[in-house]
Structure 1
Amino acid sequence: MKLIILALFASFWICNGMIEHIPLPGGLVDCFSRYSEKTNVVDTVGESIASFCFGQYMWQASRELGLPGFNITREAYNWAQSLLPKPISHRHTRQAISPNLRIRKEYRRLTDFERANFHRAVQLLKADTSVAPTMYDALSSIHQGMITTSAHGGPNFLGFHRVYLIMFENALRTKVPSVTVPYWDSTLDEPLINPTQSILFTDSFLGNGFGMVNRGPFAGWTTLSGPLIRNIGQAGSLFNADAMARIVSSIRLAQITEPNAPVNSSLEFLHNQVHLWVDGQMGSLDTAAHDPIFWLHHSYVDYIFELFRQNQRRFGIDPTTDYPVFVNNSMHMAMYPMGLAGLRNIDGFNDRFTSMIYQYEPSPRCSLRFPDCGSPYLRCVVNGFQPRCVSVDWSGASRVSVIRQQFVNNAVQGQRMQAAVRLNMLNTARRQQAQVTIQNQMRMSQQQRILANMQRQQIQLKEVENAGLDDPSEPSQMQRRSVHRRMKRSFKRRGFTYLPYDPRGSSFVNSKLNINSNIQLKMLPPMNPNVPRNIQNASEGTFMPPSMPSDMCPAIPVTQGYQNTFNINGRSDINQWVYIPVKVIYQRPPTYNNYASYPIVNGEMEAEDIYFPNTAMKNVMPTGKPASYPHCQAQESGAGKVFISSQGINYMGTYKEYAVVDHRLAISIATAYVAVKSPKLGASQVFLNAYDSCGRICQPFCKLAGVAGFQRCSGAFRVTSGFPKHYGTNYGDAVTHLWQFSKVDSCPIMQDNNIYIQFHCNFKESWPFGMRPAASGQGGNAAALDEIEEPELSGGQANAPPTACRVGNGCIISNGCNNCVHGTTYPCIGACDMYSSCQNGFHHVQRCPDNTIFNQDEGQCLAGACPNNSNAWWHKTIDWK
C-alpha cells in the first residue's frame, strides 16, 4: 500500500515538476482586454493581436524590469543626436517649401546607380567603427524600449519614427551625399500569389529572405543580436492597398493611431504585421532596426503618414496641432520629451521636415492608357479589370540583365523619337496632336467596349456557376465547361489571361497575381517629360496589360525551416536555452472537407468525400471561422503547420518552432520542442502561444497543481532549475526525455507525464487568453483566470480589510471587487508605484513610470520614489527575475 501511495505521489510530482503556471502580467492582459473590446477573432487575425500586445508589453516592461539591453555608449548616443536638426519652435503656420528638397522614392523606382549608392552608404555606416561599436549599430541601438519608451503604443509612434528616419538619412549622407532613404511599398508585393518570391529578396536588392542572410548587399552581416536572419512569409501580412486608402482618407490623427484607432485603421497595428512577415530581427521591436529593411518599411509608413496629413489640410485641419488629447500613456502626451535631440512629441508633427528637408515621389501607378510603372522591376497588370503596378518576382530574376539592356535600348529609341518629334512639331504640331488625340480616344473607346463585354461574360459565368454549384449532374458540368472554354477563347483573342471564377470564394483565383518568367511583357520606353505623353504612347500602338495566371500554389512548403536568433537580453548563444516538449491537438479546419477520396457502395461511387464531416462529427467538434491571414493557402499534400512561440516575460528573447499536422484527419496530434531561457540563468517566466499558418490562435491547456489532467490556462508559466526537470538542455535531451527507448527493437513509448502544456487548435471564435470576469462575488478581474491562485499576503497586504479584492499581478485593493467605477483608480495595498484602473467594469493593474509613485488623492502617478525597503511586499510577491 505504501508503495502505491509513493508511486502516486511521485507521478503527481513528475506531472507538475518545477514548471508552474502563473498569471499573465497585468500590462499584457490590459492590452488583450482593450483589443477584445475593439475587435474579435472573427474580424481580426488572433495571432496579430497576440504578437502586437506582447510586443507593446515587452517594449515598456524591458525598462520597468531593468532588463539588459543593447549597449550604446554616451559618446555614440551624443553622435546620433548630433545628426538631428536643432530643437524646433512649434509653429502653427505652414512653412514655405524649400526648392532643394531630398526626394525619397520607392525602392524599385531607384535607378541601378541610385540603389547601389544606397547600399554602399549603408555598408559604409556598418564598417565605420569610429563610433562604437559601428555607426550603423549605434543608430539601431536607439530603437529599443530601454531607451525610447514612447516610440510605440501611442500617437508619438509616427512623430518619433519620422525624426528617427531623418537621423538615419543624415548619417547616410555623411557617406554618400546624394543618398535618401527609399521606401518599400509592400502593397506592390501583396497581390502576388507568393509574395516571398518578390524580386526584393534577390541579390540585387535586399538579399535572401529565408534563414541567415548570406546573399545580397547585406550578406554575412553580424548584428548586435547575432547573424542577420529573416523568415519571410511565415506569419503576419503585408500592407494592403485598401487599408492604406482607408488610412489616407481619415482626417483625425486619433483615427489612425493607438489607442483610439479601430484595428483595421491603426497604422501602428498594421505596420506590426509587416514586421512579423519579415521576421528574424524584424519580428521583435527591440531588434527590428538591426535589419536594413526596417528603414525602408518605416519610410513607407512615413509616406502614408504624409498623405494623411495632406488630406487633413483638404478638410481644413492643421496637422501640426491635431494631436490626440487622450493617450493611454503619459509619455505619449504632446509636450512630453521625445528623447531625441531635445524634441517634444508634438515636434515630430512640425511642417519643417517635409517643407525644408524631404518629400516623397508618389508610389508607382499605371493605367490602361499609361501602363508604364517607371521601373523594369515593376509590371502593370490587370487585377479585376483594374490596372496596377506589381513587383516582378524572382522567378524572372534571371531575365533582369536582359530587361535592363532592353530598358536602355528603349531609352535610346525614346531619345531618337524625341529629336524626330521636335523637328516635326515645328510645322505640324497641332495637326499631329489632333490626330493622336482622336486615335487615343478611339483606342480607349474600343478598350472600354472590350472590358464591358468581358464583364458581361463574367457575370454570365457567375450565374451559370452559382446555378450549377450544387448540381453534380453531368449535363450541368458539361455546360459549365463549355462556358469556360468560350471565356478562355474570348480572353485569349484580346490578349488577356483568363482567371476562372470560383463560386466558393477561392482567395487567390480572383485576387492574387503571379508574375513569372512565363509571361512575356511588352516594355515601353521610359516617359520623357519633354515629349507629350500621348505622342510617346501613340508610337507604341495599343497596349493591354496582361492578367496573371493562378497556377502556382502560394503556400510555403512544410519542409521550409525556421531560423531562430537564439538571442536573450542582447546575447545570441544556443547554450542559454533549454527545450520543453509541447503537444498540439489539431482539429481539421472547417474549409477542408474534400480530398477526392470517395466511398463506393454496391459498386457505385458516392458523391461525398469520406473525410467530409458528418452530422455526428459536427456535433462533437463544432468549429467557427476565425479570421486568417490573406496569404493563407492549403498545401496540396494536406499537411499544415502549427507554430509555437515562447516569449520571455522576465527576459528579452523569442523562440519559434512548428509542428506538422494533417488537414485531412478530423483530429491529428503532433509534438514540438520549444526553447525557453535556461533556468540556470535564473527562474524563467515565459508566455507560450500557438497558432496555425493562417494566424488562427490555439487554446492553451496546462497541468495545474492539485488538478487532474490538462486544464485551461493562460499559457504563461515559470521554469526553475529544481528537480525534476521537465526540459532538455538541448534538442536531443528533450526528445529522449519525452520518449522511452527501452530496447533497440522495441517501439518508443511517449512519456505523457513529461508534457506540461498542450494546445488545442479548434477554430473557436473566442479569445483564448483569460480575460473573463471572476466567479460571483469576485467582481471583474481581467488579470487572472479562475484557476490562477494569487500570492499569499505579506507585508502591508497582511492588514488588508475583509472587503479587499485581488485584482491580479499581486495587487489587492480595499474597495471591494463589486465597486468598480469606470475611469476610477484604486491604490494597491502596500505598494507605492502600482494601482488598479477600472475600465468598463474590469480592473486593470498599472505600474507607474520610473521615478514616479501613485498619488491616491490625485489619482495619478506623480514625481517621487518608492522607499528602498527590501522587506516590502513588492520585492517578495512578484518574482520579476
Structure 2
Amino acid sequence: MIIQRAFFEKFSNKYQLDRTNKIRIRNKKSVEPATAGRNTYQTMAVFHTGETLRYAHGGPAFAPWHRIYLLLLETACRAPIPYWDSGLDHDMTDPTMSILWSNQFFGNGDGEVMNGPFRDMRTILGTPVIRNYGTGDSALFTKEGLRAVLSQRNYADIAEPLFGDAFMNSLEGHHNGPHVWVGGHISALNSAPWDPVFYMHHAYVDAVWERFREQQVTNGINPETDYPRTPPPPEGHAANDRIDFRPYINPITNIFAMRNLIANLVRYEPFPTCENTCNSSPHLSCDRARRICVSRERPVAQGNIVSASSSSSSVAMGASRGSAFRVESRSQARAEARGPLPVGQKFRSSPVQDPRNGADTIGTGPAAAQIRQASVQVRASATSQSQSSTQTRVRRDVFQNTTAHGSHQSVSSLERSFTNTFVLDGVVDLKRWVYVPVRIVYTRSPNVQGVDPTLLGNAELANDVCQTAHSGASKVFVASNGLNYYGNYKEFAIIDERQPVSITTTAVGIKNPEFGEGEVLFTSYDSCGRPCRPLCLTSVNGQQKYKACSGAFKISSAAPTMYRNSYKEAIAANLLEELNMVDSGSDASSPPVTFVCGNSNTWPWSY
C-alpha cells in the first residue's frame, strides 16, 4: 500500500475532519494495559521522550528515525498524515493570523487549545495541549531554508551536527524553527508529540528530505547508501545503530530506513506554487508580486481585534500576535497561570530568526518525573512483550537457585540478529569483499556459579549474569573494521559453553586487495560483551606459530594469501586443515588470526 500525503490546507472541511478524527480516536483507545493510564496516542508520543531523544536528534539518524515514526502513527491511525508547509504562513504579514490556527484546522495557537479538533486531547500530565505561537527567536520553515537544504549534494551536508555557516544547510536546524515558533508543548523535545501539529510538521520535513533524495538520484548519488560515516556520528546515529519501536515493529538500522522500499511507501503532493495554482486550495492565495503562495487569514470577529493603543481587552482564544494587535485571550491567561511547562529542554534555535516574534511568556522547566517514568514503562513493556512472545526451553542450572540471580530474565544472544550491509567505500558490491577464516578458542569460566569473576571487584556489577540460551550454546562475535577504507563486517561463531574448551571457526569479510591494499583491525567479543585476545600466525625460527598481537593486518594479494574469494571457501579451507591435522605439513590453510575468549583479567591487547 502506498500512503498519499497531501497538503493540509487543500481539502474540504469533511476531509480535514476525517483525518483529525483518526487521531482523536487514538486518544480514546489504548494499546497498553489499563493500569498504564495512557491512550494509544499518548503511548506513541512517549516514544519521543527520555534517552531515545539522543538517537532521534542531533545526528544523521534524525531523518530516517522520524520517517519510521510517522509510518508508525499512520499505521495506528489507519490514515495518511497531511503535511504542513509552514513557509506558507511565514510569508504572511502576520503568521499568527493564518487560517490554520482556527477551529477548522489546528485550533487556537494562544495558550490552552480550547477549540478545533484537538481541544479535548490531554497530555500524559493530564493537561490540555498548550501553545504559544509567534514567540521565541526562530522562524517557521522559510523558503530561504528550503533552498539552502536543496542546494546541497550529500546527506552529510544537511545532517547534524553542523556548525557555523554550515548550520544554514541543516534540515534538522530548519525543522527546529516551527517547534520554537509554535511554542508551548511542541517547543520541547520531551513533549513535542503531545501536540498533533508535530506530525503534520514532520510530514513536511520528510517531504523536503524526499525531494532532496530525488535530486541526489538526478545527480548520480545513491540515497540508499549516502550515509555519513566520517567523522564518526554521535552515539545512536551510526549507520548500523538501531531504530527501536518494539513491540509495534521490529528494530531496523538507520541505514535500512534510508532504503527506497521505505521511501516508496509514501507519495507526496507537490508543494504549492503559483504555477500549480497553489494546489487548487481555497485556503491559499497567490501573491503575484512575489510569485509565492501564502495562507489566507482566518476570520476574526470585530470584537476580537483591539488596537495596540487601545485599552486592554479580552477574547476567549485565537488572539493575534502581529504588531498591529495586542489582544489578551483567556486561553493564554489560563496557560500562563500554570507557570513554566515541566517538560525539560527546548529545541535548539533554527538558522533563521523572525524579528516579528514576541517573548515566550510561558517557558519550560525541568521535566516532570511522570515523563521519565512513562518513557521507562513503555520500553520495559516493549521488552517484556518481546520476550514473552518467544518460547524457549530453560534448563535448571546452579545459578537459578541462588538468591542473587533467581529472578533474572534476559534475551539470549542466539535470538539477536544483525545484517551486514556490504558497503565498502560507499559502494555495495560483493566483488569488493573477500573472506578471512578466524579460529575461536573459548574457555569456560572456572567459577562454578557461572558468574564472570572479573566483575566481582565492582559492587554495581557483582550480580550481573551473562545472557545465555540456557542450552549450552552461545555466540562469539568477530568483526573487521577498515583502517584505511570505509567498511565493516560482523560475523559470529557458535560455541559450547558446557565444554572446558570449545574450538570453532568462522570467517569475516574484508576489502578485496584487487581494489587496492587494505589495512584492517580484527576484534572479537563473547555474548557477555567481554573482549577476546587476538593471536596472529607468525613465523618463528622457520615454524608457523601463534603469538599475541593487536589484531591489525595489512591485506595484499601477495602469496601466500590469507583470504578466500567466498565465505564457503574460507570455511572449507580451514575445515580441511583440521581434518588432516596430523598428516598435513602445510600451514597455508591455518587461520591467520585466532581469538582466545575466557575470563582472564589480562588486557586483551597487552602483548
TM-score (norm 1): 0.36
Q: 1:565 and 1:313, CA in 2 relative to 1: closer, same or farther beyond 3 A?
A: farther
Partner residue in 1 for 2:299: 395
Partner residue in 1 for 2:562: none
The separation in 2 between residues aligned to 1:566 and 1:641, in whole angstroms, is: 13
What letter matches 1:304 in structure 2?
Answer: V
* Structure 2 counterpart of 1:366, from 267, 274, 277: 274
Q: 1:315 and 1:151, CA in 2 relative to 1: closer, same or farther beyond 3 A?
A: same
> How far off is 1:284 after superposition?
0.8
* Structure 2 counterpart of 1:157, from 45, 62, 83: 62
* Structure 1 counterpart of 2:92, from 180, 184, 192: 192
Partner residue in 2 for 1:380: 286
Counterpart contact for 1:263–1:269, Cα < 8 Å:
yes
> How far off is 1:112 after superposition?
2.6
Counterpart contact for 2:86–2:140, Cα < 8 Å:
yes
The separation in 1 between residues aligned to 2:362 and 2:24, in whole angstroms, is: 35
Partner residue in 2 for 1:330: 235
Q: 1:381 and 1:151, CA in 2 relative to 1: closer, same or farther beyond 3 A?
A: same
The separation in 2 between residues aligned to 1:205 and 1:646, in whole angstroms, is: 26
Partner residue in 2 for 1:228: 129
Q: 1:553 and 1:395, CA in 2 relative to 1: closer, same or farther beyond 3 A?
A: farther
Counterpart contact for 1:106–1:185, Cα < 8 Å:
yes
Q: Secondary structure at the match of 1:330?
A: coil
* Structure 2 counterpart of 1:212, from 112, 131, 145: 112
Q: 1:247 and 1:120, CA in 2 relative to 1: closer, same or farther beyond 3 A?
A: same
Q: Secondary structure at the match of 2:111?
A: strand
* Structure 2 counterpart of 1:352, from 242, 261, 269: 261
Percent of aligned pairs sharing the same letter:
31
The separation in 2 between residues aligned to 1:390 and 1:323, in whole angstroms, is: 35
| Pairing of 1:91-490 with structure 2 (within 5 A) | 101-132=2-33, 133-173=38-78, 179-225=79-125, 226-235=127-136, 236-260=138-162, 262-326=166-230, 327-340=232-245, 341-355=250-264, 357-367=265-275, 371=277, 373-382=279-288, 385-395=289-299
The separation in 1 between residues aligned to 2:168 and 2:326, in whole angstroms, is: 26
Q: 1:645 and 1:566, CA in 2 relative to 1: closer, same or farther beyond 3 A?
A: closer
What letter matches 1:223 in structure 2?
Answer: T
Counterpart contact for 2:340–2:363, Cα < 8 Å:
no
Q: 1:652 and 1:316, CA in 2 relative to 1: closer, same or farther beyond 3 A?
A: farther
Counterpart contact for 1:568–1:651, Cα < 8 Å:
no
> How far off is 1:648 after superposition?
3.4
Counterpart contact for 1:379–1:390, Cα < 8 Å:
yes
Q: 1:288 and 1:646, CA in 2 relative to 1: closer, same or farther beyond 3 A?
A: closer
The one-character-per-residue Cα deviations of 1:564-586 (angstroms, maximum 9, x if unpaired) are 5655479xxxxxxxxxxxxxxxx
Partner residue in 2 for 1:648: 366
What letter matches 1:229 in structure 2?
Answer: I
Counterpart contact for 2:243–2:252, Cα < 8 Å:
yes
Q: 1:311 and 1:172, CA in 2 relative to 1: closer, same or farther beyond 3 A?
A: same
Larger relative contact order (Cα-Cα within 8 Å, sequence gap ≥ 6)? 1
| Pairing of 1:492-503 with structure 2 (within 5 A) | none
Counterpart contact for 1:281–1:565, Cα < 8 Å:
no
| Pairing of 1:402-801 with structure 2 (within 5 A) | 553=323, 563=336, 564=338, 567-568=341-342, 630-633=353-356, 647-648=365-366
| Unmatched segments (≥5 aa) in structure 2 | 303-321, 345-349, 372-527, 531-549, 551-607
Q: Secondary structure at the match of 1:230?
A: strand
Q: 1:372 and 1:568, CA in 2 relative to 1: closer, same or farther beyond 3 A?
A: closer
How many correspondences in the alignment?
345
Q: 1:649 and 1:630, CA in 2 relative to 1: closer, same or farther beyond 3 A?
A: closer
Q: 1:397 and 1:381, CA in 2 relative to 1: closer, same or farther beyond 3 A?
A: farther
Q: 1:222 and 1:303, CA in 2 relative to 1: closer, same or farther beyond 3 A?
A: same
The separation in 2 between residues aligned to 1:129 and 1:331, in whole angstroms, is: 29
> How far off is 1:288 after superposition?
0.6
The separation in 1 between residues aligned to 2:141 and 2:27, in whole angstroms, is: 29
The separation in 1 between residues aligned to 2:140 and 2:118, in whole angstroms, is: 22
Q: 1:187 and 1:152, CA in 2 relative to 1: closer, same or farther beyond 3 A?
A: same
Q: 1:558 and 1:359, CA in 2 relative to 1: closer, same or farther beyond 3 A?
A: same
Q: Secondary structure at the match of 2:285?
A: strand
> How far off is 1:321 after superposition?
0.4
The separation in 1 between residues aligned to 2:215 and 2:326, in whole angstroms, is: 39
> How far off is 1:111 after superposition?
3.1
Q: 1:314 and 1:108, CA in 2 relative to 1: closer, same or farther beyond 3 A?
A: same
Partner residue in 2 for 1:583: none
Structure holding more helix per residue = 1
> How far off is 1:329 after superposition?
1.5
The one-character-per-residue Cα deviations of 1:297-356 (angstroms, maximum 9, x if unpaired) are 10000000000000111110000100001344131110112223210111111101232x
The separation in 1 between residues aligned to 2:76 and 2:362, in whole angstroms, is: 39
Q: 1:325 and 1:216, CA in 2 relative to 1: closer, same or farther beyond 3 A?
A: same
> How far off is 1:641 after superposition?
5.4
What letter matches 2:162 in structure 1?
Answer: N
> How far off is 1:647 after superposition?
4.4
Q: Secondary structure at the match of 1:131?
A: coil
Counterpart contact for 2:341–2:364, Cα < 8 Å:
no
Q: 1:268 and 1:299, CA in 2 relative to 1: closer, same or farther beyond 3 A?
A: same
Q: Secondary structure at the match of 2:54?
A: coil
The one-character-per-residue Cα deviations of 1:22-52 (angstroms, maximum 9, x if unpaired) are xxxxxxxxxxxxxxxxxxxxxxxxxxxxxxx
The separation in 2 between residues aligned to 1:350 and 1:167, in whole angstroms, is: 17
> How far off is 1:649 after superposition?
8.9
Counterpart contact for 2:119–2:128, Cα < 8 Å:
no
Q: 1:311 and 1:217, CA in 2 relative to 1: closer, same or farther beyond 3 A?
A: same
Partner residue in 2 for 1:868: none
The separation in 2 between residues aligned to 1:322 and 1:284, in whole angstroms, is: 30
What letter matches 1:198 in structure 2?
Answer: S
The separation in 2 between residues aligned to 1:264 and 1:556, in whole angstroms, is: 32
The separation in 2 between residues aligned to 1:351 and 1:397, in whole angstroms, is: 49
Q: 1:643 and 1:389, CA in 2 relative to 1: closer, same or farther beyond 3 A?
A: same
The separation in 1 between residues aligned to 2:366 and 2:63, in whole angstroms, is: 27
The separation in 2 between residues aligned to 1:143 and 1:239, in whole angstroms, is: 21
> How far off is 1:630 after superposition?
4.8
> How far off is 1:124 after superposition?
0.7
> How far off is 1:109 after superposition?
1.4
> How far off is 1:106 after superposition?
1.0
> How far off is 1:643 after superposition?
6.1
The separation in 2 between residues aligned to 1:628 and 1:291, in whole angstroms, is: 23
